[in-house]
Amino acid sequence: MSERLSVFKTYKLFVGGKFPRSESGRVYEVTDSKGNWLANAPLSSRKDGRDAVVAARKAFSAWSGATAYNRGQILYRVAEMLEGRRDQFVAEVADAEGLSKAKAAAQVDAAIDRWVWYAGWTDKIAQIAGGTNPVAGPFFNVSSPEPTGVVAVVAPQASSFLGLVSVIAPVIAAGNTVVVVASEKAPLPALSLGEVLATSDVPGGVVNILSGRAAEIMPSLAAHQDVNAIDLAGAGAELATELEAAAADNLKRVLRPQAVDWVAAPGTGRLMAFLETKTVWHPTGSLGAGGSSY
């Protein structure tokens, strides 16, 4: 019997729930920590970024309008699907980051647990980000959080999978949609995550994953008039300064780079970073002789 030829995986972008190749047709070589070739990844263009924003905006209304409980169920489903493909992601993270199998497994397990953690927060964040406010007058004053909109994210460069999940999950748990530029050096776990999201009930366009050079893709996203916020988690100091300046073209929330231990408990900071507060005033008073209030 003749020896089988290897079937190499063709990695693609994840945009609008589909798997397109880069509009430019370009690819770049991805290597492991020892310089050995792993795969060719799509080299995204600015046009790919604009297409991803269109997909994210189209998906925003339905995703932000879904019940918090439903969003939590969908995030939990992502964790279920990742658990079933755990071995694949352990191998990809080990190759991408030069980790032992045991350390890579710990990273993947933490990433799966993080999906579960944020899934549990979807219907609870309103209790800590909103509430009834005391006012001096005959009014009810109630504040509630609402998602900011389309968020563009530079994924962490060193933590190719756990860091990626840690910046995507809180954005969509809060009801936003996201366009994320994966780690340039280690994009393969991110691109494989797109395959999981596509089979996890996440509506198309809620998460859009690009690979390539953040320095090429992100300036146009930061200046894009239909992007409402940017997360500079994986941007170096020089690029972060450039992107902040580009974001000033219109009103955007900007989450600046911070020193983060991605293994540590995440807290609610990122969950609340891309929420807006809506406050409603309602008069109180009497209704007829009974004196009931409303």
Rounded distance between C-alpha atoms, residue 159 and residue 148, angstroms:
26
Q: What is the pLDDT of residue 292?
A: 40
pTM: 0.90
Q: How many structural domains compose the chain?
A: 1
Mean pLDDT rounded to a whole number for the chain: 91
Q: What are the structure tokens assigned to 128, written together?
A: 């800590």
Helix, strand, coil percentages (3-state) for the chain, rounded to 5, are 40, 20, 40
Q: Which comes out higher in pLDDT, residue 163 or 9?
A: 163
User: Does 2 map to a domain?
Assistant: no
Mean pLDDT across the stretch 176-183?
A: 98
Rounded distance between C-alpha atoms, residue 35 and residue 282, angstroms:
64
Q: What is the CATH number of the domain that holds 106?
A: 3.40.605.10
Q: What is the pLDDT of residue 11?
A: 94
Contact 175, 129 (CB under 8 A): no
What would the pLDDT profile of 186-214 be if each residue is shown by its tens digit?
A: 999 999 999 999 999 999 999 999 999 99
User: Does 203 map to a domain?
Assistant: yes
User: Does 17 map to a domain?
Assistant: no
**pLDDT at 291 > cutoff 60:** no
User: Does 11 map to a domain?
Assistant: no
What would the pLDDT profile of 52-87 be if each residue is shown by its tens digit?
A: 999 999 999 999 999 999 999 999 999 999 999 999
User: Does 293 map to a domain?
Assistant: no
Residue 208 φ/ψ, nearest 5 degrees: -130, 125
> Which residue type sits at 184?
E
Q: Which comes out higher in pLDDT, residue 158 or 171?
A: 171
Q: Which comes out higher in pLDDT, residue 126 or 232?
A: 232
User: Does 288 map to a domain?
Assistant: no
Question: Could you count the other beta carbons within 10 Å of the beta carbon of residue 118?
Answer: 29
Q: What is the pLDDT of residue 1?
A: 57
Closest among 147, 204, 142, 145 to 172, alpha carbons compared: 147
H or E element at residue 191 = helix 188-198
Question: Could you count the other beta carbons within 10 Å of the beta carbon of residue 2?
Answer: 4
Domain of 67? 37-283
Mean pLDDT across the stretch 127-151?
A: 80
- Helices and strands counted in the chain (H then E): 10, 10
Task: Kindly indicate the confidence band of residue 185, based on its pLDDT and cuts at 50, 70 and 90.
Answer: very high
Q: Which of 185-194, 258-267, 275-284 has the lowest mean pLDDT?
A: 275-284
Q: What is the pLDDT of residue 258?
A: 86
Contact 183, 156 (CB under 8 A): yes
Ordered DSSP codes for 164-175: HHHHHHHHHHTT
Give the ranges where 38-181 is alpha helix by DSSP (H): 46-65, 68-84, 86-97, 101-121, 125-129, 162-173
